[in-house]
Structure 1
């Protein structure tokens, strides 16, 4: 797998601006119409690297060891989704002998991606969660203007405001006129004479901020939320992109989720299962009374209505399903053994089933509790 960071000559924690500047420099250096046709492959490598590292999702995939430009990743190789003519137009002024105009200083911001880990209880009821993110925001010093003194940019004396300069290049077709971005103003057509020291004239800086995310009730693990206008601010104080938040729900020690239902397991003494019992269990809604019917069997379930997960975008809730695990003692005192023996003598079920019931299918659901008890003791 190619190392796109190495191709552009930037570090793995390079900012978007550093990646863009490195790409502009290398694209000018290796463009076939300037450096010669023998550099076409190198130019394609540079373009592919920029296509990956300039896209937050592709860059995230690459950082995790997946090449987003490989056929297995669902994208093409080489130029990827970019078009050769578009690249030349963007970085060389629109082709041979023609300009596309100066690049506006104010650019819209990119979308950003963040992750938020929430408790299962948040998924049940919903909640407003705090999320710390680091991204580009408007520079507090110049308020997005880019100038230290608030003055407006002046016309670039090198390109006279066109944002591009003309030069003659030699190609296999002869001499041709090429238009490329002005190096002095970087294609903007204007120059900030006194750049802001905080943002270096960009009008934005990277900073950490806390965002409140409204997590809806019923949200599932892997859900992606969109927060409009909460992404990074563009150059020159441009409008912010959107922030996408991937939700992950932490496993809970007490409950397991299955769709809109919650499941939990409780261990009860065998006497509770035989005679019945009323107890209390914890739920996300507080303590609730649980009535265990007499004669309950191991693996029986008791359903508590409307104590499950709220259904997404609805007011309905699922149920809480309680699974019974009957605790059968492994050691008995002599008195306990006598009581069990007396019970066996009085129990009709044990008298009728001196021989075990056999079947080609599982019969554990039909086996009586006393038979299970006797089986455990034996």
Structure 2
């Protein structure tokens, strides 16, 4: 039986995103192989497991699928070989942690090298890395509370680099390349500086071939040999029902195109929930305020209140006090980690009139007199005992 992601991180099923992140960082620090030199292999496996768990639970959409269907619900996000470092989309959440551990650098010369080693991949050369994929893109997208309740599809336009349709991304009109004469095909250039009897060797990416080791023959006239074109493209995403402000979504393959036909990067979207003029959010509940007169509060009434879908009639019971709350079940937001919806909570404000006409004033004075007689009768009974 597969281990439960919540158990792996040591958090409850209703843990907040901050609690999940805190638990992951704590365990990542504990099980880092360099901190466990006597049992590095076991630590490496543990490190991979907690990273896989965090990849799923830190993402609202994946977490919702996992809670509903278990591991089968997130298998589509990983390849046939299971979770790999290329699937990990939360490097920003922990990069500072490893900078602290290694004084700003990992022992392999880079954060990605470190994870590639942990997750079973060979360390790639700089040239291989340059050819692997394009840059990731980040953006923010405003959504409404109604979008979150309904899980709506959102469409928008995005400027990104796409593969040239003329040369297929190769950058060459004929499809041919040749070895870069500047670096001899290595993708790197070395510089040697001598200081007395010492020499300092620095290695940097070749500027002629951008680290690929190859230069284009017969450059494509449409993309000028770059293999990519700037394009404004329509993107569609599904807003996860019940998503929180700050939820991060990953759209695979919608980052910039890779050079020379390499795979594209991914698009990361940060959701920002627009403030509503009537409702405030409290987890999956919505809170609003409405006013009734003091006679309506005393005698009871029926009022119509808005929801995210329509208006509904609500009964205000007699004797309602200022600050009392009414609750409409299921009129809030979807619960991402379990089925059902939150509630709409209606706070009652009782309005006291600032001015009274003669008739109203007389009625209130009569009412006050009745209350006074009622209280006097009660005290008489107490004294008579």
Q: TM-score, normalised by structure 2?
A: 0.61
Q: Residue 132 of structure 2: SS of its match in structure 1?
A: coil
> For residues 366 and 200 of structure 2, what CA distance do their matches in structure 1 show?
109
- Per the alignment, residue 290 of structure 1 pairs with 314
The CA RMSD measured in Å over matched residues stands at: 4.1
Answer whether contact 1:107 1:236 (CA < 8 A) is retained. Answer: no
Corresponding residue to 1:265 among 289, 292, 295: 289
- Per the alignment, residue 128 of structure 1 pairs with 153
1:115 corresponds to 2:140: yes
Superimposed CA distance per residue, residues 30-73 of structure 1 (whole angstroms, 9 cap, x where no aligned partner): xxxxxxxxxxxxxxxxxxxxxxxxxxx99x9xxxxxxxx9x9x9
Cα shift at 1:263: 0.8
- Per the alignment, residue 92 of structure 1 pairs with none
Cα shift at 1:179: 8.0
- Per the alignment, residue 80 of structure 2 pairs with none
Cα shift at 1:267: 0.8
Answer whether contact 1:345 1:351 (CA < 8 A) is retained. Answer: no
C-alpha distance 180-261 of structure 1, shift in aligned 2 (>3 A): closer
The aligned runs of 1:38-53 (5 Å cut-off) are: none
Runs of at least 5 residues in structure 2 that lack an aligned partner in the other structure: 1-89, 111-124, 379-385
Cα shift at 1:143: 2.4
Q: Who wins on radius of gyration, i.e. which is larger?
A: 1
Cα shift at 1:174: 6.6
- Per the alignment, residue 370 of structure 1 pairs with none
167-176 or 305-314, which deviates more: 167-176
- Per the alignment, residue 305 of structure 1 pairs with 329
> For residues 229 and 266 of structure 2, what CA distance do their matches in structure 1 show?
17
> For residues 273 and 254 of structure 1, what CA distance do their matches in structure 2 show?
21
> For residues 126 and 296 of structure 1, what CA distance do their matches in structure 2 show?
36
> For residues 270 and 126 of structure 2, what CA distance do their matches in structure 1 show?
39
1:279 corresponds to 2:309: no
C-alpha distance 80-122 of structure 1, shift in aligned 2 (>3 A): same
- Per the alignment, residue 14 of structure 2 pairs with none
Q: TM-score, normalised by structure 1?
A: 0.62
> For residues 101 and 119 of structure 1, what CA distance do their matches in structure 2 show?
43
Cα shift at 1:344: 1.2
Superimposed CA distance per residue, residues 223-255 of structure 1 (whole angstroms, 9 cap, x where no aligned partner): 112222222221112112222211111110011
Q: Residue 290 of structure 2: SS of its match in structure 1?
A: strand
C-alpha distance 104-342 of structure 1, shift in aligned 2 (>3 A): closer
> For residues 322 and 126 of structure 2, what CA distance do their matches in structure 1 show?
78
Cα shift at 1:291: 0.3
> For residues 282 and 151 of structure 2, what CA distance do their matches in structure 1 show?
17
> For residues 306 and 377 of structure 2, what CA distance do their matches in structure 1 show?
39
1:325 corresponds to 2:349: yes
C-alpha distance 353-201 of structure 1, shift in aligned 2 (>3 A): farther
195-204 or 150-159, which deviates more: 150-159
Corresponding residue to 1:256 among 275, 280, 305: 280
C-alpha distance 230-290 of structure 1, shift in aligned 2 (>3 A): same
C-alpha distance 214-186 of structure 1, shift in aligned 2 (>3 A): closer
1:222 corresponds to 2:246: yes
1:142 corresponds to 2:179: no
Q: Residue 347 of structure 1: SS of its match in structure 2?
A: helix
Runs of at least 5 residues in structure 1 that lack an aligned partner in the other structure: 1-56, 61-68, 87-99, 355-378
- Per the alignment, residue 64 of structure 2 pairs with none
> For residues 339 and 129 of structure 2, what CA distance do their matches in structure 1 show?
48
Answer whether contact 2:164 2:228 (CA < 8 A) is retained. Answer: yes
Give the number of aligned pairs.
Answer: 279
